[in-house]
Structure 1
Amino acid sequence: MFLRNETFESFIKSYKIVTSLVIIHIFFYIWLYWFPFLGGEEIYALGVGNNILVASGDYWRLITPIFLHGGLTHMLFNSFSLVLFGPALETMLGRVKFVMAYLATGILANIAFYFLGSPGVLHLGASGAIFGLFGIYVYMVLFRKDLINRMNSQLIMTIVAIGVVMTFLNPGVNIIAHLFGLIAGAAIAPLFLNGVSLYTQRRPIHDDDIGFDPNRWAKRRQHKKNLIFYIVGGFAGMVLFFYLVSMFLF
């Protein structure tokens, strides 16, 4: 569910919304920080979240911060998270519902910050929407066990726990947006998961998959061992990634 085995080309074809969101992240990062003299400064000024300006009528600032980031590490971290945790939901929900859920959780997180956050603080980033995806997974783990298996349930709950802990440990992180993005995802999950079936990861079909293989059970046992290895390795890598982010982010 969270292990990516597609080629770059097949990933783009299979997960068009996730790919488009990552491209948007990269595009605005390059525009804002590499070409500020070509309108990047103006885009930042118009798009950054600011409660005072929202109160004065700039309501688009509840949406635009979702697509902007505070630097390269910030952008890469959110894009990396989206690539890992977005594809399964895009497949399960469908593209339209996935976009709606992603934007809804990000907007609700920014609305929560509008009412609870400091008026003068500038904020931007897709973290509220990313935590919204986590919230949908948490709802699955707690109330829709038919949609997620035990192994993935344990993995996602561990990642969410780490994410929440790192939210409080990292100075400058928008705690309100993270927490309310998570809550918003869990709150809207029943609406979006209605009629959804269990996720099945796409994989290419090869000619050698057809026919009887006398070693199929041995291969399955080896496959399980490899799967455990990749899960442990992936988890360790994410822990290291979170640690590095805690050192350099903000």
Structure 2
Amino acid sequence: MFIRNETFYSYRKNYPIITGVIAIHLVLFLWYNLTIFTDGLIPFGRTIFYLGIGNTGFITDGQYWRLITPIFLHQEMSHVLFNSISLILFGPALEKMLGHTKFISTYLTAGILANIGTYFLTGPGYSHLGASGAIFGLFGVYLYMVLNRKDLIDAMNAQLISIILILGVVMTFLNPGINILGHLFGLIAGAALAPLVLWNARPFYVQTRTVPDDRNISFNPDRWRKRRIFSGRRAARFAGWAFVILVILGILSRLF
């Protein structure tokens, strides 16, 4: 569910919404930073960044687009990579289960609600940016699945997402540079939206399972051989824990 083995072509074809969002992340990040690096030789980067960043004072003045645009803006390399990789790993299952329209609607709604919560509970000079609130909205959907829709997620993936979610919440409070309210409101928004968007969803593995073709009869010469001890289930469990360790190391690298 969270272990990716697609090629770039198949990933782009199967998950066009995630691919498009990540492309926007990278284009805006590079545009702004190249403008700074070239001292204005590449134009409009500063303008786009200035007009898009979330700022409570400007929102009060009527610039309501700032509740949406921060979802796509990042200033630091570690920030854009961490959020984009999180979306690459945890977004595909939901894009398949919900469908393209409901997925992007859930993603944006959670991000907007996270920014609205930030707006009401911070001072007039508070500024913020990043996709973390929207991504925590996806985690909120998964949290609802773990607690109330166990038919949509197996035990191993439920355990994996629970560990990552706990680590994410803990790191939210330990890192002073993180928009705590954005993360928490994004998580709450995703969990609140989950009953609506999951009402007719099917488990991810059902949609990706292939149906054998009975017309092509073949004989497997190894069918009678003894199965190896390192079975597919154990291999999947091993890969899952290896992934958890990598995620922990990635989070710690951002913290320090």
Q: Same fold (TM over 0.5)?
A: yes
How many residue pairs match? The answer is 247
Which sits farther off after the overlay, 51-60 or 32-41? 32-41
TM-score by length of 1: 0.93
Instruction: Give 1:227 deviation, angstroms.
Output: 1.4
State whether structure 2 residue 142 is matched by structure 1 residue 137. Answer: yes
Say which SS state the counterpart of residue 74 (structure 1) adopts: helix
Q: Does 1:19 align with 2:19?
A: yes
Q: Which of 231, 234, 240 is the equivalent residue of 1:231?
A: 240
Which residue does the alignment assign to 1:96? 101
Which structure's CA Rg is the greater one?
Answer: 2
2:227 counterpart letter in structure 1: A
Structure 1: which 5+ runs fail to align? none
Partner of 1:71: 76
CA contact (8 A) 2:59 2:66 kept: yes
Counterpart in the other structure of 1:53: 58
Encode CA deviations 1:193-233: one digit per residue, 9 max, x unaligned.
011111126489999x9654416872695222221221111
Q: AA paired with 1:154?
A: Q
Amino acid at match of 1:240: L
Report what 1:181 is aligned to: 186
Q: Report matched runs for 1:162-181 at 5 Å.
A: 162-181=167-186
Provide the rounded CA distance (Å) in 1 between the counterparts of 2:225 and 2:201. Answer: 31
Tell me how far apart the structure 1 counterparts of residues 102 and 192 of structure 2 sit (CA, whole Å).
15
* SS of residue matched to 1:35: helix
* RMSD over equivalenced CA pairs, Å: 2.2
**Does the 8 Å CA contact 1:49/1:62 hold for their aligned counterparts?**
yes
Q: Hey, which of these two has a bigger chunk of helix by percent?
A: 1
| 2:29 aligned partner, one-letter code | Y
Gaps of 5+ in 2: none
Instruction: Give the Cα separation in 2 of the matches to 1:229 and 1:129.
Output: 29
Q: Is the 8 A contact 1:51 1:120 kept in 2?
A: yes
Tell me the CA shift for residue 122 of structure 1.
1.2
Structure 1 residues 210 and 236: CA distance shift in structure 2, 3 A: farther
- Are the aligned partners of 1:6 and 1:203 in contact in 2 as well (CA < 8 Å)? no
Cα distance in 1 for partners of 2:25, 2:7 equals 21
Q: Distance in 1 between matches of 2:225 and 2:196?
A: 41
1:4 paired to 2:9: no
Q: 1:220 to 1:93 in 2, by over 3 A?
A: farther
Letter in 1 for 2:14: S
Looking at structure 1, the residues matched to 27 and 133 of structure 2 have their Cα atoms a distance apart, in angstroms, of: 20
Aligned residue for 1:69, secondary structure, equals coil
